[in-house]
Amino acid sequence: MTRRDPGGNQEPLTYADAGVDIAAGEKAVELIKTHVRSTFRAEVIGGVGGFGGLFSLAGLRHRDPVLVASTDGVGTKSVVARLAGRYETIGIDVVAMSVDDVAATGAEPLFFLDYISVGKLVPETVDEIVAGVAVGCRHAGCALLGGEMSEHPDLMEPGEFDLVGFAVGVAERDGLLPAGVAAGDRLVGVASPGLRCNGYSLARRALLDQAGRELDGPAWDGADHSLAEELLRPSEIYAPALAAVREQVEVHAFAHVTGGGIPANLARVLPDDCDAVVRRGSWPGPRIFAEVQAAGAVPAAEMESAFNLGLGMIAVVGGDPDRAVDALRSAGHDAWEVGELVAGDGRVTLAG
């Protein structure tokens, strides 16, 4: 309804009346500046607040550099963060999703950009989210070079938000992966203690809707942490470990296990004349997957296509798999030999 004063004149309409608070946006920018600066590498030019982030390639010293870019989001994990009122880890997740895609090609992540859309901009919430993004960038060794926050009052409800990211890395052309994948290669899986950012629509439906579980209740019978803490467990960032393992072992490919699970993502790095055989039971599956499956009576095949089942990354190695396992563990991630490649036609089988 149009607003009018008693004299019949229409009252002035402001942007705030329309649901967009410019002052809140300016406050949020001030709050996040320290987080952003904490991620800067030597190649970053300028500060925070320009129209574009500047990054010098002059000091990278690559012979034949190739830029690698990826984008991804946190999906409906954001719903769990909103329901729990906890935003300190979701920023780590958005970094992990993109930088690990970049690292899986054999590239070093250089910089990252984020995009936060909200129904109503609360500066303190944005500050929590971006603080997590900065933590993720520091873990990955990349700069948080820029970002955007936008308020969408008629598109999203207050409290709702979405978070996506964009990563750029660099690799030598002759160091790009996959390369040399062949029958006889061994598969080394890298641990994902939680769900990362995949399968949350199914997990929420099973645990919260069908089983009636409460986020502030225990993650499972006898657990010493809440279901919210379990579902908001931050994603592992594998990028530095992937570079470290390549220094120790001949790696032919990395498969980042995200949407589609182990079968779909491992198939992306296989040549047409190889099959991958992944041995169930060769790694310890985190309890949360069994909880989701039981709560929703989810078929095994559905679990395999929706979740990573405890392996966030798989290395395809031509060298000694034990050395690869040792290198990954030394870099801070548990790992196991989980299968091998055999002659075939590009299929992935979970056996046993």
Give the model's confidence band at 5: pLDDT under 50 very low, under 70 low, under 90 confident, else very high: low
Position 7 confidence tier, pLDDT thresholds 50, 70, 90 = low
Does residue 7 lie in a domain region? no
Q: What is the pLDDT of residue 316?
A: 98
Residue 124 and residue 196 in one domain: no
Q: Are residues 260 and 163 in the same domain?
A: no
pLDDT at 197 over 60: yes
What is the separation, in whole angstroms, between the first and last Cα of the chain?
65
Residues 6+ apart with CB under 8 A from 221: none
Check residue 256 and give its pLDDT.
98
Q: Which residues of 51-65 are buried (b: 16+ CB within 10 A; e: fewer)?
A: eebebeeeeeeeeee
- Looking at the structure, do residues 244 and 295 belong to the same domain, yes or no? yes
What's the domain count of the chain? 2
For residue 196, what are the CA distances in angstroms to 146, 149, 319? 24, 23, 28
Phi, psi of 314 (to 5 degrees): -125, 125
- Per-residue pLDDT at 54: 96
- Which two three-digit tokens encode residue 143? 């700069």
Tell me: do 192 and 312 sit in the same domain: yes
Residue at 180 is within a domain:
no
Q: Which helix (H) or strand (E) holds 91?
A: helix 90-104
Which of 175, 210, 228 lies at the terminal end of a domain, its last residue? 175
pLDDT at 8 over 90: no
Q: Given a cut of 70, is residue 4 above it in pLDDT?
A: no
Identify the CATH number of the domain in which residue 317 sits.
3.90.650.10
Rounded mean pLDDT, 220-232 = 97
Question: Is the domain of 57 the same as that of 195?
Answer: no
Min mean pLDDT across 10-14, 138-142, 150-154, 157-161 is at: 10-14
Q: Are residues 202 and 123 in the same domain?
A: no
Same domain? 88 vs 225: no
Task: Evaluate whether residue 15 is within a structural domain.
Answer: no
pLDDT at 299 over 90: yes
At 242-269, the pLDDT tens digits run 999 999 999 999 999 999 999 999 999 9
Digit-coded pLDDT (tens) for 329-345: 999 999 999 999 999 99
For residue 197, being part of any structural domain is answered with: yes
31 part of a folded domain: yes
Task: Kindly indicate the confidence band of residue 2, based on its pLDDT and cuts at 50, 70 and 90.
Answer: very low
Is the domain of 153 the same as that of 196?
A: no
The upper half-sphere exposure of residue 161, i.e. CA atoms within 13 Å in the direction of its Cβ, equals 33
* Confidence at residue 258, expressed as pLDDT on a 0 to 100 scale: 96
Domain with residue 42: its CATH number is 3.30.1330.10
pLDDT digits (tens, 9 = 90+) for 9-37: 678 888 888 889 999 999 999 999 999 99
Q: Rounded to the nearest 5°, which phi and psi values hold at 47?
A: -120, -145
pLDDT value, residue 50: 85
Shared domain check, 36 and 126? yes
Other Cβ atoms within 10 Å of 225 Cβ, number: 11
Share of the chain above pLDDT 90, in %: 91
d(CA 231, CA 229): 6
Q: How far apart are CA 227 and CA 36, in angstroms?
A: 30
Of 115, 141, 175, the last residue of a domain is: 175
Nearest to 235 by CA among 204, 193, 188, 287: 193
Asked if residue 309 is part of any domain, the answer here is yes
DSSP H helices in 251-342: 261-267, 287-296, 300-306, 321-330
Quickly list DSSP for 9-53: PBPP--TTTTT--HHHHHHHHHHHHHHHHTT--TTEES-SSSSS-
Is residue 4 assigned to a domain? no
Q: What is the pLDDT of residue 11?
A: 80
In terms of residue numbers, what domain contains 226?
186-351
1 pLDDT more than 90: no
Give the C-alpha separation, 94 to 75, whole Å: 9
Please report, for residues 92, 107, 226, 265, 278, the alpha-carbon distance to residue 140 in angstroms, rounded to integers and kept in the order given.
Answer: 10, 12, 28, 22, 28
- Of 154, 175, 196, the one marking the end of a domain is 175
Q: Are residues 171 and 257 in the same domain?
A: no
Is 330 among the domain residues? Answer: yes
Average pLDDT over residues 109-126: 97
Q: What does the pLDDT read at residue 93?
A: 98
- Euclidean distance between CA atoms 86 and 124, whole angstroms: 12
Average pLDDT, the chain: 95
In this structure, the answer to whether residues 68 and 198 fall within a common structural domain is no
Tokens standing for residue 230: 């379990």
**What pLDDT score does 352 carry?**
84
Amino acid at 351: A
pLDDT mean over 174-199: 97
Looking at the structure, tell me whether residues 158 and 194 fall in a common domain.
no
